[in-house]
Structure 1
């Protein structure tokens, strides 16, 4: 995924399904400087992590 698409997902009016290494996540913030994102697993909202964009995959229709 690239920074532009990650930002579009954050700004989308509906929830877009995204996974990080097979785990459903919510993208909280995009850091364009080093191409990372702040995410948290949907089942662990307190577990925020900063990860590389390359691990994110948009899932489904």
Structure 2
């Protein structure tokens, strides 16, 4: 995924089908400079991670 699409998804009130390592996630925000996204798994909302935007997959 590119950072622009990740930003669109993060800003949208509609839940998008995005996965990280095969797990459905929610994108909280995107850091343009580092091209990373703050995410968490829908099954583990307390487990936040900072990951590369390029590792996210939209289905």
Give the aligned partner of residue 27 of structure 2: 27
Structure 2-normalised TM-score? 0.93
Give ranges in structure 2 of 5+ residues lacking alignment: none
Give the total of aligned pairs.
59
What CA RMSD, in Å, does the superposition of the two structures yield over aligned residues? 0.8
Distance in structure 2 (CA, Å) of the matches to 1:20 and 1:13: 20
Structure 1-normalised TM-score? 0.90
Distance in structure 1 (CA, Å) of the matches to 2:54 and 2:11: 20
Give ranges in structure 1 of 5+ residues lacking alignment: none
Shift, 1:54, TM fit? 1.4
Distance in structure 1 (CA, Å) of the matches to 2:13 and 2:23: 22
Distance in structure 2 (CA, Å) of the matches to 1:12 and 1:29: 11
**After TM superposition, which residue ranges in structure 1, 4 or more long, deviate above 2 angstroms?**
none
